Amino acid sequence: MTHRPSDTSTPGGSVDEGDPPETDGRAAADPATADAERAPRSEGHADAGRSPTPAIDAGRASGDLDATPVEGWSRPVEPDRFLLAVSVDGEVLFAGPSAPDVVGVARDALVESDLLDRVHPSDSEPVADALSAVATSRTVTHRIRRASGGYAWVESVVDEELAPQFGGRIVTVRRADVDRTFPERYRAFLEYGSDLVTVVGGDGLVVYESPSVAEVLGYEQGSTVGRSPLGYVHPDDRERMTERFYRALNEPDATPTLEYRYRTADGDWVWLESHTRSLPAESPVGELLINSRDVSARKARERRLTDRNERLDRFASIVSHDLRNPLSVIRGSIEMARLREETDPLERGERAVDRIDQLVSELLTLARQGTGMDEPAEFALASVARDAWETAAEGDADAELVVTGDAQVYGDRGRMRQALANLFRNATEHATPAASETDSEEPCDAADDLTVLVTATDEGFLVADDGTGIDPDDRESVFESGFTTRADGTGYGLDIVRGVVESHGWRVELRGPADGPISLADGRRLRPPEGACFEVCAPGPSAADPDEPWIDG
């Protein structure tokens, strides 16, 4: 709180403390207009040489007031100041028309409320003293709560005399936060700068935030004044930030650079990079100056680069281990064929070559995962499913694709076709008893024919089969990279499916009978079959952000 020396209001006195000085660059109002936003003084206290202000009907002090001034009363537009008539115990009897511009509260909501309840608790005592005439100074600089919950710095000038029209004192309230914090010559930098400038007091609470808080975080300027910035920090970053914040506050030589997630006005999180610096001990502004900028785009690039490097590391590890054994088999088979002059061992080499070809194809797919949509477009689920079936189950006379419910999809058609092909291949290779016996040459019986179902659900779509199902012990591992139950399997097929789905911002789940029925897009409910059932969940077009992938069943 700050008490300032004040010139008391006396007949013939000069400009009141609450008025803007003539040196602040604003045009001086004419005498009649200068008194307009002030409440009327008691008889005999009109300043000499000024036209007396018309009296206001005392009956209007009840709060049933409109914004229309009495005839002949010209009110200047002063959006940074307003008038109050306040009783000695703090009850607001009258609020001037400019009050909502400063505190964001309607006039009728201010009237009959307690002014001291709107003053910051640390500043309420000097304001109460000024109202009750205990204090000799009539000018008090204090914080007042805005409708948004934050505090604005104001300078209140309390009239000495009680106004008989109201039975209380006239208080002129003027916004003082910008003037109080930074000189006029620096204000343009704060108003037009893209970085967020925050000043923190010795108690760790925000004293000032520059206008760019609206652009960077979406908050109204002044709405965070009087609050701790740590309350907006992401819970996962708060402990780390608390230690470094108070270190910067208590150690003048500490100038840490901080990176953390901060909550915006709409509830999202952005990454901020903040440079802190202690202010001089004699500074009237505060203790700590924080310069922050939004680095969310940079953090996203760093995250993508990290993910890509991890995929490349995994790719190199897989190539060095999983490809080495098939290559050894090929070398041994060729050498044996040469020694024996036989061609039978070459068949093993051919199988090894096929495995290498599949591994390379799937590993290249994994290396490209996580880059988002290459060519987003709108397409039909049924169409891309049938295209994928031709690739995955070509020549398999014992498997049948059934599409019972179509959906419109907005996403990367090529990658979705690849994901569906992997799901179909997983079904045809794992869902029948004969498929699990890799060396069996016996044809499957009709009873072993496989049906693969694709249908839209109310949350996306599902791919299910009526095969042998997935061992309960393996359900938690099916999406893990390299996991397979076949001797000649690669273990990367479902990992690719998960990567494609997650790159669209969706999720894929393995459903089972115990999970309960699934709601289809046409209102029916489907109980998951005994075989495998994979459901892809995605938002609809109305729930997705603009240009983000969706599925409309």
Q: Residue 241's pLDDT band (boundaries 50, 70, 90)?
A: very high
Average pLDDT estimate for 442-446: 41
pLDDT attached to residue 181 = 52
The region of weakest confidence among 53-57, 328-332, 353-357, 544-548 is 53-57
Of 462, 455, 389, the closest CA to residue 428 belongs to: 389
Neighbours of 62 (CB within 10 A): 11
pLDDT attached to residue 84 = 92
Residue with tokens 């039909």: 380
Tell me: pLDDT of 26 over 70: no
Tell me: pLDDT of 194 over 50: yes
Fold of the CATH domain 372-432+448-552: Heat Shock Protein 90 (3.30.565)
**Rounded CA gap, 540 and 553, in Å?**
8
pLDDT attached to residue 65 = 33
pLDDT attached to residue 469 = 82
pLDDT attached to residue 270 = 94
Beta strands in 63-109 (DSSP E): 81-86, 92-95
Fold of the CATH domain 81-175: Beta-Lactamase (3.30.450)
Average pLDDT estimate for 257-278: 92
Enumerate the CATH 3.30.565.10 domain ranges in the chain, comma separated.
Answer: 372-432+448-552
Tell me: pLDDT of 192 over 80: no
pLDDT attached to residue 348 = 66
Tell me: pLDDT of 531 over 90: no
Tell me: pLDDT of 389 over 60: yes
Average pLDDT estimate for 68-91: 66
pLDDT attached to residue 438 = 38
Domain 184-295 class in CATH:
alpha beta
pLDDT attached to residue 277 = 86
pLDDT one-digit tens code per residue, 457-491: 999 999 999 888 888 888 888 888 667 766 556 66
Q: What DSSP element (H or E) covers 297? A: helix 296-322
Tell me 510's DSSP state: E
pLDDT one-digit tens code per residue, 209-235: 888 888 899 988 878 888 899 999 999
Phi, psi of 48 (to 5 degrees): -65, 140
pLDDT attached to residue 8 = 32
Enumerate the CATH 3.30.450.20 domain ranges in the chain, comma separated.
Answer: 81-175, 184-295
Backbone dihedral region of 204: left (phi > 0), alpha (psi from -120 to 50 degrees) or beta? Answer: left
- 183 or 167, which is more confident? 167
pLDDT attached to residue 172 = 92
H/E/C letters for each residue in 399-436? Answer: EEEEEEECCEEEEEHHHHHHHHHHHHHHHHHHCCHHHH
- 184 or 282, which is more confident? 282
Question: What pTM was estimated for this model as a whole?
Answer: 0.41
- 32 or 229, which is more confident? 229
Average pLDDT estimate for 232-242: 93
Of 397, 502, 497, 498, the closest CA to residue 443 belongs to: 397
The region of weakest confidence among 358-367, 390-399, 517-526 is 358-367
pLDDT attached to residue 487 = 58
159: Cβ contacts below 8 Å, ≥ 6 apart: 9, 39, 41, 138, 169, 170, 171
Tell me: pLDDT of 50 over 60: no
Q: What percent of the chain has pLDDT over 90?
A: 21
Tell me: pLDDT of 397 over 90: no
What DSSP string runs through 474-499?
A: GGGGTTSTT--SSTT--S-HHHHHHH
Residue with tokens 């999180």: 269
Average pLDDT estimate for 239-262: 88
Query: Do the beta carbons of residue 181 and residue 29 sit within 8 Å?
Result: no
Average pLDDT estimate for 281-292: 78
Average pLDDT estimate for 116-138: 84
**Rounded CA gap, 553 and 551, in Å?**
6
The region of weakest confidence among 58-62, 293-297, 341-345, 506-510 is 58-62
Of 533, 354, 516, 395, the closest CA to residue 460 belongs to: 533
Tell me: pLDDT of 335 over 70: yes
